[in-house]
Amino acid sequence: MANAARDTFVVGLRNAHAMEVQARELMERQSERLDEYPEVKAKITAHLQETNEQLRRLEKCLEACGESTSSLKDTAQSVMANMMAMAHSVAGDEILKNTFANNAFENFEIAAYKSLLALCGAAGMPEAKEPLETSLKEEQRMAAWIDSNVEKVTMEYLTHQRQAA
């Protein structure tokens, strides 16, 4: 059982690393286009720094397991993120689509970290618990911020639309 748990944990760490690569790419593309929404831009920029720390934490967890990241998964997720960002950038309501997608993505990340935390003990990696909990809390804070700002961003978008008309 320990080997299955450890194998699942390692795959989960690699998947989480690829997920965070995707998040980083999405936020980098989004932040380039958020000048009309300075509060959102500031939050995305701050969370981008957290994401870079999360990537380092995941890499350390993988190293502690004697493993490395998956270049294939990281590259695939990076390409997907850039394609999503490009698709949203041509939409007139880009900020709304990004807000909805970010809300979903943050909750996806939360679930991934909860799953990894559930595996720590069975995988024989209790030392991974603290860094994974730190990342989970960061994702929960970002998800809560996005959730509490959906209405505000929507109304700001509406204001910009009225001014442009």
Q: Where are the domains of the chain?
A: 2-164
pLDDT of residue 79: 53
Q: How far apart are CA 20 and CA 113, in angstroms?
A: 11
pLDDT one digit per residue (tens) for the chain, 165 residues: 458 999 999 999 999 998 998 899 889 888 888 999 999 999 999 999 999 999 999 999 999 998 877 554 555 555 555 555 555 455 578 899 889 989 999 999 999 999 999 999 999 999 999 999 999 999 999 999 999 999 999 999 999 888 887
DSSP string computed for 34-102: -TT-HHHHHHHHHHHHHHHHHHHHHHHHHHHTT----HHHHHHHHHHHHHHHHHHHTSTTHHHHHHHHH
pLDDT of residue 33: 86
Residue 32, burial from CB neighbour count under 10 angstroms (0-12, 13-18, 19+): exposed
Q: Which residue has the tokens 């270049």?
A: 71
pLDDT of residue 71: 57
pLDDT of residue 128: 97
pLDDT of residue 122: 95
CATH number of the 2-164 domain: 1.20.1260.10
* Beta carbons of 88 and 104 less than 8 angstroms apart: no
Q: How far apart are CA 11 and CA 5, in angstroms?
A: 10
Q: How far apart are CA 77 and CA 154, in angstroms?
A: 28
Q: How far apart are CA 85 and CA 92, in angstroms?
A: 13
Cα-Cα-Cα-Cα torsion 46, 48, 50, 52, nearest 10 degrees, comes to: -150
* Beta carbons of 22 and 46 less than 8 angstroms apart: no
Residues sharing a CB contact under 8 Å with residue 29, sequence separation 6 or more, in sequence order = 81, 82, 85, 86, 89
pLDDT of residue 106: 95
Q: Around Cβ 84, how many Cβ atoms within 10 Å?
A: 19
